[in-house]
């Protein structure tokens, strides 16, 4: 039996290597081809028995953090108020603790999103579960109960169903993409962030309207406290919700209860391959060039200014070497990006060390992140909370830095860290 498993794994590795050759040859054209060079685990893959301290995804929330191990087990750490760690209680945790199954989440999780006060995750079969504070209906189970400290099943509502491929959480609301590309949101409707043309709350999923052309072929969604952005299959970006700080990227500072198209700005165009929306919103063009829009008073737009906000996309500058081969990007009051070769850069607010370059001085352009406990130049993904950051190295080892209050860094301490600190497992 062991010999059979060994031969199977060798065959699988060869097959994966062959399938990546075309992408590797086109590395110059597509920054995402770097994934093939890292040997990273694809989202949704569950590898039984392989934990070894590794993570395949991390989501940094406002006060807490969650991560998925290669086996599919889900862990959370940091502030536990409202039950958002999913452990059956409201206690804080300085180290990762396993999320309980609740109404059926189980140990086969493919994606997680840590929000401001609640958490949602997708089971390997596409079923969605949420937990934490739920007074706006943001748990999606038809209730506006104060909280749930264990995962509850999200109802189908207007058609979400049990085949979901992506999830995002914000302040009192959640949004998800159905397998066929249709978007649904639920929870707090303030500022129109549910995308339904109204500001009405909903305790079950409601379908997002097409607005200026979002349609039903969405491949990625990302949300913040009061704004959501979505990436259409053809590379066009749309946003909706709160727009006062230019969050919607359409050249105005008006809110919208339906999706509006993000403008070209300084050259974003309609060939976007990745987005991140957390107040300061960012996107990566298909050639690897990064753009940001929205709040910028701490330098988080990366364009060497501290203007209060920008209503359309601006190009992120090179700084200490970010360049135009960006693989991944995440933003809040600070922004971090992974270069195509695995080097990590951050900029913006640094008062708690969340930029990871060893000081508490803000930066208006990208700065190289220190190695700290061993982060190195082999980063494959990045996630940012309001005042902390977490990254996964190519080998699956996870690091966090910045504000340590409540244990959100997962290193056994509640102290701030100015450089990457390895998770305590």
Q: Where are the domains of the chain?
A: 46-208
| pLDDT for res 52 | 55
Structure tokens at 282: 């960012």
Residue recorded with tokens 């749930």: 148
- In this prediction, residue 123 carries a pLDDT of 98
pTM, to two decimals: 0.88
pLDDT at 40: 33
The parts of the chain modelled with pLDDT lower than 70 are: 1-52
Q: Which CATH number fits domain 46-208: 3.40.309.10, 2.130.10.30, 3.50.7.10, 2.40.50.1020?
A: 2.130.10.30
Q: What are phi and psi of 12, to 5 degrees?
A: -65, -45
**Beta partners for residue 241, in sequence order:** 227, 256
Separation CA 387–CA 409 (nearest Å): 11
Q: What's the pLDDT score for residue 50?
A: 44
User: Number of C-alpha atoms within 13 angstroms, CB side, residue 416?
Assistant: 15
- Select from 368, 306, 372 the least CA-distant residue to 333: 306
């Amino acid at each position: 039996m062991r010999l059979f498993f060994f031969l199977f794994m060798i065959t699988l590795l060869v097959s994966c290597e062959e399938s990546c050759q075309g992408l590797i040859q086109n590395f110059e054209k597509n920054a995402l081809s770097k994934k093939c060079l890292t040997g990273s685990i694809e989202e949704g893959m569950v590898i039984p028995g392989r934990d070894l301290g590794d993570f395949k995804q991390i989501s940094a929330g406002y006060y807490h953090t969650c991560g998925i191990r290669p086996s599919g087990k889900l862990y959370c750490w940091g502030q536990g108020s409202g039950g958002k760690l999913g452990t059956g209680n409201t206690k804080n945790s300085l180290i990762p603790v396993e999320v309980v199954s609740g109404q059926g989440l189980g140990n086969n999780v493919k994606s997680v999103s840590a929000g401001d006060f609640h958490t949602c995750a997708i089971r390997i079969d596409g079923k969605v579960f949420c937990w934490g504070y739920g007074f706006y209906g943001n748990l999606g189970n038809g209730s506006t109960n104060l909280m749930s400290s264990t995962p509850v099943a999200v109802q189908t509502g207007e058609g979400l169903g049990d085949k979901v491929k992506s999830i995002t959480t914000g302040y009192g609301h959640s949004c998800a993409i159905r397998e066929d590309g249709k978007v649904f949101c639920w929870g707090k409707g303030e500022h129109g962030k549910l995308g339904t043309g109204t500001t009405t709350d909903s305790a079950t999923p409601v379908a997002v309207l097409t607005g200026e052309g979002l349609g039903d072929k969405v491949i990625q969604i990302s949300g913040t406290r009061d704004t959501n952005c979505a990436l259409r299959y053809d590379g066009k970006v749309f946003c909706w919700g709160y727009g006062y700080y230019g969050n919607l990227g359409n050249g105005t500072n008006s809110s919208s209860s339906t999706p509006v198209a993000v403008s070209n700005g300084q050259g974003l165009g309609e060939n976007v391959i990745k987005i991140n929306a957390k107040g300061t919103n960012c996107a990566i063009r298909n050639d690897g060039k990064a753009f940001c829009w929205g709040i910028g008073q701490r330098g988080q737009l990366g364009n060497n200014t501290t203007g209060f906000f920008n209503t359309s996309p601006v190009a992120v500058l090179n700084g200490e070497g970010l360049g135009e081969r960006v693989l991944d990007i995440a933003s809040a009051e600070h922004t971090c990006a992974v270069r195509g070769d695995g080097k990590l850069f951050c900029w913006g607010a640094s008062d708690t060390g969340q930029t990871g370059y060893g000081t508490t001085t803000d930066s208006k352009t990208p700065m190289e992140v220190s190695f700290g406990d061993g982060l190195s130049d082999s980063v494959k993904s990045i996630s940012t909370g309001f005042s902390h950051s977490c990254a996964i190295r190519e080998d699956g080892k996870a690091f966090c830095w910045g504000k340590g209050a409540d244990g959100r860094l997962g290193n056994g301490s509640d102290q701030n860290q100015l450089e990457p600190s390895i998770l305590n497992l």
